[in-house]
Amino acid sequence: MDPIIKGENLEIVYNLGKSNEYRALRSVSAEIFPEEYIILFGPSGCGKSTLLYCFLGTLPNTYGKLLVKGEDPYTYDAEQLVQFQQRTMGIIYQAFYLIPSLSVLDNVALPLIFAGVSKLDREKRAFGLLKRFGVEKQAYKLPASLSGGQQQRIAVSRALVNDPEILLADEPVGNLDSISTKHVMDMLDDINKKEKKTIILVTHDAKYLPYAHRVFYMKDGGLEREVPNPEKPQIKAVEPGKTIVTEIETLARMYPYSSVDELRVKSIINFLTQSLNFDQLERLEKTVEMVMMGNIDELNFQKILNMRVDEGGIGLRLPEARKMTEKLHNILEQSFDVKRYRKGVTSEGLRPEFDVFIRRLRTDLLDQFEGQVVPIQLTRLEKAISDRVSGLIKKEDFQTYIGASISNGGAGFPARTARNFTLYLEKLIAQGTRI
């Protein structure tokens, strides 16, 4: 399969040669395949929009090589560029950019004028799209009289009116309330699934990540990582030899942000923290797996822990076996929450229960904290949990944020508590992705 977009060492410099010269893209290489849903994700200012407009062919001072459907838009003159954009890409923006003096129908039909389509056909096609997205009643109104959600649906119709294969979206729900957000996100999902259009969506909000096949994590103008969404069947085949065989690779899936060294340390710690020998560990792993697969219940788990080694058990004393069973019970219970949270958006769009999961995780963490907390600490703790569970921030960022003082924008917990919360949450995240 050939990529529909292929960028090699893309660099973009704003204000070239001036005192405020700025390199907004640094040697970005990426391949996007037909029918993929890609999210460009990262903090504000990291270059997401720049990369998106780079794909569109509109940015001056672009270096490197870009091919979109085999064409290099940067070799085109102005007129060729417009034609190229019309046949390959539609785009929607956070601020909609509808033309205020034109009716909704004319806004949607406008790109077809440039494509030389007759008036009757233009209106037919535009009306069909408005109908499909449930805004046909608004066809003869002016954009300003509509809600934000309706305006964005109209902007999506306009982007699709030329039937391009690629749809670009720059923070398309950034200005919308939660109900319109869900509507628009589900529309885009549908366009990807049914019409098989390639979607490239820019967002800084982690809760949309589950919609993507792959997430491109950006930082300081660079593409840091490309992470396949484990919950979605992949369009880009996993390369041979890249299937998961080692423990490090398994861990790497769970902790997409960690370096190889960090993963090695993790796997050694996993090993060292157990006072069990190799055989016992192996058996323990199998037994835990059986519980997670639902093949044995917790009572039987405890029995196997307590059984003598020469009888096939793990050889723990009863109090130890009880304690471990209880721990397993708690971790499984809570890690289901993490998994539900991550899955939530995939099939049914955004769900209000997200907040409930986050609140439960927050309660689980706070139950281990002896001191008193104030409301702002609750809010910040929940925000940090939500960001970490959805992969927006790294483990270290989570710990720093939890431990930073309230006046410095943190959640204001003691360093030791921050560390304990972090370790505990990481355990849940690891379990959540694995079950």
**Is residue 173 a contact point for ligand ADP (CB under 6 A)?**
no
Kindly tell me which residue out of 49, 157, 302, 325 binds Mg ion, with binding defined by CB under 5 A: 49
Cβ(362)–Cβ(381) below 8 Å: yes
Contact region with Mg ion (CB under 5 A), list: 34-42, 49-57, 136-144, 243-251: 49-57
Give min distance, CB of 210 to ligand ADP, in A.
Answer: 20
Interface residue with ligand ADP among 6, 13, 14, 225 (CB under 6 A) is 14
Triad 349, 165, 114: Cα angle to 5°: 120
Q: Which of 5, 32, 39, 46 binds ligand ADP (CB under 6 A)?
A: 46
State which H helix or E strand residue 25 sits in.
strand 22-32
Task: Answer with the entry of Mg ion, ligand ADP, none that 15 interacts with (C-beta below 5 to 8 A by kind).
Answer: ligand ADP
64 within 8 A of 9, measured Cβ to Cβ:
yes
| Inter-residue contact 98 to 156 (CB < 8 Å) | no
- Among 8, 45, 265, 409, the residue binding ligand ADP under the rule CB under 6 A is 45
Region from 42-50, 159-167, 232-240, 279-287 binding Mg ion, contact rule CB under 5 A: 42-50
List for the chain the helix, strand, coil content (%; round to 5).
55, 15, 35
Q: How far is the CB of 202 from Mg ion (least distance, A)?
A: 6
- Out of Mg ion, ligand ADP, none, what residue 183 binds, judged by CB under 5 to 8 A for its kind, is none
Interface segment toward ligand ADP; rule CB under 6 A; list 42-50, 68-76, 89-97, 411-419:
42-50
- Residue 59 — φ and ψ, nearest 5°? -95, 135
Residue closer to Mg ion, measured from CB, 53 or 424: 53
Residues 384, 402 contacting (CB under 8 angstroms): yes
Considering only 10, 24, 30, 338, the residue that binds ligand ADP (CB under 6 A) is 24
Which among 30, 36, 28, 88 has a CA at the least distance from the CA of 57? 88
Distance set, CA 75 to CA 2, 27, 198 (Å) = 21, 19, 23
The least distance separating ligand ADP from the CB of residue 196, rounded to whole angstroms, comes to 27
What backbone torsions phi and psi does residue 38 show, to the nearest 5 degrees? -110, 135
Nearer CB in complex with ligand ADP: 50/417: 50
Q: Give the DSSP H or E segment for 6.
A: strand 5-14
- Per partner kind, with CB cut-offs from 5 to 8 A, the member of Mg ion, ligand ADP, none near residue 210 is none
Report if residue 50 touches Mg ion, rule: CB under 5 A. no
- Of 59, 55, 110, the closest CA to residue 88 belongs to 55
172 contacts ligand ADP (rule: CB under 6 A): no
Does residue number 19 form part of the binding site for ligand ADP (CB under 6 A)?
Answer: no
Length of the chain in residues, anyone? 435
Q: What are phi and psi of 308, to 5 degrees?
A: -70, 150
Residue 336, contacted partner among Mg ion, ligand ADP, none, CB below 5-8 A by kind:
none
- Our finding on whether 28 is near ligand ADP (CB under 6 A) is no
Residue 134: CB atoms within 10 A of its CB come to: 12
Counting residues that bind Mg ion (by CB under 5 A) gives 1
Q: How far is the CB of 167 from ligand ADP (least distance, A)?
A: 17
Between 50 and 107, CB nearer to Mg ion = 50
Cβ atoms of residues 145 and 154 within 8 Å: no
Nearer to Mg ion, 49 or 386 (CB): 49
Q: How far apart are CA 74 and CA 273, in angstroms?
A: 56
Candidate segments 39-47, 229-237, 309-317, 394-402, binder of ligand ADP by CB under 6 A: 39-47
Amino acid at 341: Y
Choose the contact partner of 45 out of Mg ion, ligand ADP, none; CB within 5 to 8 A by kind. ligand ADP
Q: Are 320 and 313 in contact (CB under 8 A)?
A: no
Residues 311-370 that bind ligand ADP (CB under 6 A): none
Shorter beta-carbon distance to ligand ADP: residue 48 or 266: 48
Sign of CA dihedral 408, 410, 416, 417: positive
How far apart, in Å, do the first and last CA atoms of the chain sit?
A: 32
Q: Establish if 16 lies at the interface with ligand ADP (CB under 6 A).
A: no
Interface with ligand ADP by CB under 6 A: which residues? Answer: 14-15, 22, 24, 42, 44-50
Provide the binding-site residues for Mg ion, judged by CB under 5 A: 49
